[in-house]
């Protein structure tokens, strides 16, 4: 495994970081608890020291399972990255910005973006309890909240740093303008954003900005929720309540299939899977500090970790990039 310093902090994180969205269950068709815990154990045992989660993932379930999985482990060797700012339990009393209706057990649950000072402090206490720890390594706002001044949100994060409850503060899904506004109050460590072979929009602005300002980039959905594994084209039958049924419709699936067939020989030469090749390519892109990779079980977690076990030559990168242009 390779480790990198996150932005302007002294926080060392594993390049492949365990993304714990899917193990929360909601929106992913569910997952077995023991499989989820085993996936975290396998990640930690194979050099993946960082875990990214959020209260929203499973409405607290993801954080709870992480807390259970790391119990008895050396906490100083694990980096917990979690979030705040999506609330669903009515504690915001109608404040904030309506985001969408989530669904659990057939019931609609309104989710709001809400990042007031009081709400952040409350959320952090709840996260610490679920995670079974007394500090969070990186706390990130999950989505921008247009109803709360960014300065108020950053002041709350600064207070939490001073109190020792968080080591560093980051943002997620922020624009350059929002990052600049945040930095007026508190120098943020990173921005967590969507990025993949099929979605390279951040290369236009966020990548050059981050390189110039020594800010980290954490990328989610590098596998486009499993599409770039190639399994979707061979054997996978998604459950009816899996959100990916709609998500995949945005892509030209025939072109994606052709692209994967073109690059698969590179993976085979490395003794690697398509998933590992995609993760490795992503890790080598400019300004990318961390690549989030989800795992529902131990085997998937081990495969993700092994994505860093090989290199890619300039020629191989060029072959991949040339094939990408045809999508």
Q: Which residue among 3, 57, 195, 220 is the active-site one? A: 57
Q: What is the spatial distance between Cα 66 and Cα 176, in angstroms, rounded to a whole number? A: 32
Q: Report the run of H or E that residue 165 belongs to, with start and end.
A: none
SS3 content of the chain, % helix, strand, coil (to 5): 45, 20, 35
Known active-site residue 57:
yes
Phi, psi of 254 (to 5 degrees): -65, -40
Which residues, at least 6 apart from 68, have a Cβ–Cβ distance to it below 8 Å?
A: 37, 132
Instruction: Please tell me the distance from the alpha carbon of residue 86 to that of residue 235, in angstroms, as a whole number.
Output: 35
Token readout for 243 is 């959100």
| Rounded Cα–Cα distance for residues 241 and 245 (Å) | 8
Contacts of 323 (CB under 8 A, 6+ apart): 259, 262, 263
Task: Give backbone dihedrals phi and psi of 178, rounded to 5 degrees, phi first.
Answer: -70, -35
Residue 3: count other Cβ atoms within 10 Å of its Cβ: 14
b/e map 112-148, b = 16+ CB within 10 Å: bbbbbbebbeebbeebbebbebebbbbbbbbbbbeeb
The DSSP letter of residue 58 is: T
- Indicate the helix (H) or strand (E) that contains 142: none
CA distance 257 to 216: 31
What's phi and psi for 170, nearest 5 deg? -135, 175
Q: Which residues are catalytic?
A: 57
């Amino acid at each position: 495994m390779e480790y990198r310093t996150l932005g302007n902090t002294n926080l060392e994180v594993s390049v492949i970081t365990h993304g714990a969205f899917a193990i929360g269950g909601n929106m992913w068709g569910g997952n077995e608890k023991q499989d989820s815990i085993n996936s975290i154990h396998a990640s930690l045992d194979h050099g993946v020291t960082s875990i990214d989660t959020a209260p929203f993932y499973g409405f607290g379930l993801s954080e709870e399972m992480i807390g259970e999985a790391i119990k008895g482990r050396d906490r100083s060797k694990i980096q917990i990255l979690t979030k705040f700012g999506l609330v669903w339990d009515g504690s915001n009393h109608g404040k904030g910005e309506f985001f969408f209706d989530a669904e659990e057990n057939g019931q609609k649950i309104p989710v709001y973006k809400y990042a007031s000072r009081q709400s952040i402090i409350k959320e952090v206490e709840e996260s610490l309890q679920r995670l079974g720890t007394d500090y969070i390594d990186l706390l990130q706002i999950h989505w921008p909240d247009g109803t709360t001044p960014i300065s108020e949100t950053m002041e709350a994060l600064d207070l939490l740093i001073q109190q020792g409850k968080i080591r560093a503060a980051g943002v997620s899904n922020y624009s350059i303008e929002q990052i600049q506004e945040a930095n007026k109050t508190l120098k943020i460590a990173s921005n967590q954003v969507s990025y993949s072979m099929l979605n390279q929009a951040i290369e236009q602005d966020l990548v050059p900005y981050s390189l110039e300002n020594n800010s980290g980039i954490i990328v989610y959905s590098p596998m486009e929720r499993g599409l770039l594994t190639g399994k979707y084209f061979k054997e996978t039958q998604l459950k009816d309540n899996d959100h990916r049924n709609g998500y995949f419709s945005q892509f030209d699936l025939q072109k994606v299939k052709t692209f994967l067939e073109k690059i698969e020989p590179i993976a085979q030469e490395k003794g690697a899977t398509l998933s590992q090749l995609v993760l490795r390519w992503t890790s080598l892109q400019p300004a990318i500090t961390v690549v989030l990779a989800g795992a529902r079980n131990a085997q998937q977690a081990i495969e993700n970790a092994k994505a860093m076990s090989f290199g890619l030559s300039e020629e191989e990168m060029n072959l991949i990039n040339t094939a990408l242009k045809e999508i």
